[in-house]
Amino acid sequence: MLRDIWFTFWAHSDFTDSTVSPDEIRRSEVTESHIMRPLFMDSTSLPSTAVLEELEKILSGSVFRNAGRSSRLLRFVVDETLNGRADRLKDYTLGAEALGRGDDFDPRTDPIARVEASRLRSRLELYYATEGASDPVIITLPKGSYVPVFENRIARSDTASPKTFWRRDRLVWTLVALIALFAAVESLRVWRGPSNLVSGPEMRLDITTPPTTDPVSLAISPDGQKIVFVATSQGRTQLWLRPLDSASAHPLAGTDYASAPFWSPDSHSVAFFAEGKLRRIDLDSGFVEFVARSIVPAGGAWNQDGMILFPIVPDSPLFKVSAKGGEPARLTQLEPHQTGHRSPQFLPDGRHFLYYAMGSSEVRGIYVGDLRGDRSQRLLDADGPAVYASTGHLLFVRQGTLFAQNFDPVSLKLIAKLRSENGLGHLGSAANRKRQGLSGCPNEL
């Protein structure tokens, strides 16, 4: 088989596995100086009874049904605000009273208030993007505040775009690089033919791009001929397209603020997330089309039948929608102690798909689901999403080590033994090394 194929990637941040992640802490940090007074828009039409009715409707919906902490926290901040005690909504009060930590709670060492507030914001966004899309009253928790905002939907501006905090980490960047590696290996294997599958010299591919603040937003086309990535030029961040048989790339008009692109199976279109929306661009015509609302991107996948899978926010289940647009339909169900589904990838049959479930150690990991909505099956534990390679392996990272696991996409079963280190290399400690060299396939893969 091909050997000694190397590539280098930059690790931009460390990945830490826990129910409370550092990314959640960083993006949700709030200090007492940030506390704001409640804002009532068109307050004459928003009596307390209307707000309380909306609260009960939210808590009885499917988004909050199994989210005990988020439900308790939302009820607490709404009740305190309506009773004129918004000035009490600080780290200590939320942790000690709303979240049950007690009088000994110390917000300096326990980030639960900040983390649960961040999760509550995501759940509220998901609720109003789905079952609460037509509710006359909107309850939000602005970033930088623990004081809820009560709005009349009529008074709310429809032009406001949610701020995307698409968090990158070393693990995701590793897996993106793996996709590029195996696309290159498979393309070369097809081109050279089976008789030439022997050891070869080291090969390198350098792609020079304009500057970017989003280095992991890239994707190689299924036919292996093109790469799309996010870059900034003349103050504009947008998608760029580079044919691999060309030395130059060009920007794609209409893709401003894009992130997390993924390809159509025929390699003629690219889907991407921008300004709280999932969009697609046809590369032949340049036409950009709205597909669905997606508040915070966390990966997407597109099958041969024109079905797209994606989470509306990282803390949501997966939804499915036609690539031509329409109303997203919930596909997966969050199990107890799971906090979100993300990074779907279709298997070759176009009906089954992989995805990563976040949550406690007992329920997190790689799952396989079905477009019919049947109960998903947990395949294995991992630190982040898996990649299915056409060699018949699942590639994933666990505790800093890259593994290859034989997998049958027909029976959906793991087969043979797990291989690591000698099979695919060890990633080492990201805390000690920011630039990593990853060895591909030195043995039989």
Helices first, then strands: H and E counts in the chain: 6, 25
Indicate the residue among 152, 180, 202 that finishes a domain: 152
CATH assignment at residue 255: 2.120.10.30
Residue 251 inside a domain? The answer is yes
Residue 95 inside a domain? The answer is yes
Same domain for 207 and 95: no
Q: Sheet harboring 250-251: ordered strands across?
A: 218-220, 226-233, 236-243, 250-251
Residue type, 261: P
Please give the average pLDDT of every successive group of 10 residues along the chain, which has 445 residues.
Answer: 32 34 39 35 64 92 86 95 92 93 90 89 83 87 90 58 41 47 46 47 65 81 91 85 88 92 96 93 95 89 96 89 93 89 94 93 93 90 89 86 89 78 42 33 31
Indicate the residue among 152, 179, 195 that finishes a domain: 152
Query: DSSP letters of 253-288?
Result: TT-TT-EEEEE-TTSSEEEEEETTEEEEEETTT--E
Please answer whether residues 146 and 117 qualify as being in contact, where contact means their C-beta atoms are separated by less than 8 angstroms: yes
Residue 142 inside a domain? The answer is yes
| pLDDT at residue 89, as a whole number | 94
Closest CA to 123 of 187, 47, 69, 173: 69
Please answer whether residues 384 and 365 qualify as being in contact, where contact means their C-beta atoms are separated by less than 8 angstroms: no
β-strands 365-370, 377-380 pairing: antiparallel
Alpha-carbon span 418 to 444, nearest angstrom: 13
| pLDDT at residue 34, as a whole number | 33
Residue 157 inside a domain? The answer is no
Chain-centroid distance of CA 335 in Å reads 18
| pLDDT at residue 95, as a whole number | 93
| pLDDT at residue 1, as a whole number | 35
Same domain for 333 and 274: yes
Please answer whether residues 255 and 281 qualify as being in contact, where contact means their C-beta atoms are separated by less than 8 angstroms: yes
Residue 274, domain extent: 5-11+165-440
Same domain for 436 and 318: yes
Same domain for 199 and 301: yes
Q: In 3-state terms, what secondary structure has residue 51? A: helix
Same domain for 134 and 169: no
Same domain for 172 and 139: no
| pLDDT at residue 201, as a whole number | 56
Same domain for 409 and 284: yes
Residue 17 inside a domain? The answer is no
Residue type, 89: L
Same domain for 430 and 300: yes
Indicate the residue among 129, 152, 175 that finishes a domain: 152
Same domain for 328 and 223: yes
Residue 445 inside a domain? The answer is no
Same domain for 255 and 184: yes
| Paired strand residues for 272 | 279
As for how many domains the chain has, the answer is 2
Same domain for 223 and 122: no
Residue 241 inside a domain? The answer is yes
Residue 158 inside a domain? The answer is no
Same domain for 391 and 311: yes
Please answer whether residues 289 and 279 qualify as being in contact, where contact means their C-beta atoms are separated by less than 8 angstroms: yes
Helix orientation angle between 48-60 and 68-82, rounded to the nearest 10 degrees: 180
